[in-house]
Amino acid sequence: LRASFSEWLKSARKTVNFPMAGRKVVKSKELEDWHRMRVLPYMDLWLYQKAFEIDFDEINIARLLFRSEDNENGIGDDEYKKSLERTQKRAESLIQQSVFFSLRYEET
């Protein structure tokens, strides 16, 4: 039974691909990127939606987060969506428990 479980566990780990992280050092440059990408405000809105079981329209979230990026002519919805997609991807990688608890700040 023990040997069978050990074999099953090996194959399950290969299949699932858990994001196991050691200590990940975060430096000022990464924090600046997160700020520019509006990662923390996005995470705040995402958690709010989950907590209150509501959904904000994606384009409205993007406009809210990135409206300061507008120039005189404004940026189009496609550019808003691209910015939001990049932010979502970064935020989703950070909210994984194994990654979140591994983060450590280091002065540069």
R_g of the chain computed on alpha carbons: 19
Please, which pLDDT band fits residue 103 given cuts at 50, 70 and 90? confident
Residues 25, 106 contacting (CB under 8 angstroms)? yes
Residues 83, 69 contacting (CB under 8 angstroms)? yes
Please, which pLDDT band fits residue 44 given cuts at 50, 70 and 90? very high
Average pLDDT score over residue span 75-80: 83
The bridge status of strand 103-105 relative to strand 24-26 is parallel
pLDDT of residue 42: 94
Mean pLDDT for the chain overall: 81
pLDDT of residue 20: 54
Residue 19 pLDDT exceeds 80: no
